[in-house]
Amino acid sequence: DARVTQTPRDKVTEMGQEVTMRCQPILGHNTVFWYRQTMMQGLELLAYFRNRAPLDDSGMPKDRFSAEMPDATLATLKIQPSEPRDSAVYFCASALMNTEAFFGQGTRLTVV
């Protein structure tokens, strides 16, 4: 059963700490998206990769956020230092070329 796997599912951290979220895309998919969802802003595109190369990360606060794909089976999103306004659900999604994007279960981040 192919699925996008995100870890952790829930994360509570103190302001100023580093947070790392991980995503394992579906095997064979070459496009990976990172989204942030809040009640106020909806589903915001933070960054996306094609064949592990970053194509657009303009939606991401550069001073504290970074996204990478160390290899084809792992995508990471890091926040350093974290702030309370970063509290949200972070979704990873993967797709093969321009077809349907499949979403992971999300990481619920709470920064206190």
Partner 1 sequence: QKEVEQNSGPLSVPEGAIASLNCTYSDRGSQSFFWYRQYSGKSPELIMFIYSNGDKEDGRFTAQLNKASQYVSLLIRDSQPSDSATYLCAPGAGSYQLTFGKGTKLSVIP
Interaction site with partner 1 (CB under 8 A) = 31, 33, 35, 41-43, 45, 48, 50, 55-56, 91, 93, 95, 97-98, 100-106
Residue 109: Cβ within 10 Å count: 21
The residues facing 10 across adjacent strands are 108
Omega before residue 84 within 30° of 0, cis: no
Q: Measured on CA atoms in the order 55, 56, 62, 67, is the torsion positive or negative?
A: negative
Kind and range of the H or E element at 91?
A: strand 88-95
Of residues 17 and 38, the one with the C-beta less far from partner 1: 38
Residue number with CB closer to partner 1 (25 or 106): 106
Shortest distance, CB of residue 15 to partner 1, whole angstroms?
25
Identify which of residues 26 and 81 has a Cβ nearer to partner 1 in the complex.
Answer: 26
Question: Of the two residues 27 and 97, which places its CB atom closer to partner 1 in the complex?
Answer: 97
Shortest Å, Cβ 38 to partner 1: 10
**Nearest distance from C-beta of residue 12 to partner 1, angstroms:** 17
**Residue 85 dihedral angles phi and psi, to the nearest 5°:** -70, -10
